[in-house]
Amino acid sequence: MPTEKQLETTVFLCQLLSNFYQPIRVFRYDQKLKTLYIQAGRTDEIALIIKEDGNWNFVP
């Protein structure tokens, strides 16, 4: 299960993407890595990983 910090960050990022009219294409929790993955954008150009501590990074 995602941590409370991950959930808070996820809601913030999803709202931000929505405000910029970017569709969210993939939303997945990886049980092994304990990370959340979001792929978004009209051509899937935005990819984010949210770590257990709530910190996030763009995936290159």
Tens digits of residue pLDDT in 1-37: 999 999 999 999 999 999 999 999 999 999 999 999 9
pLDDT (tens digit per residue) in 34-53: 999 999 999 999 999 999 99
Domains of the chain, by residue range, sit at: 4-58
- What DSSP letter does each residue of the chain carry, written as one string? ---HHHHHHHHHHHHHHHHTTPPEEEEEEETTTTEEEEEESTTS-EEEEE-TTS-EEE--
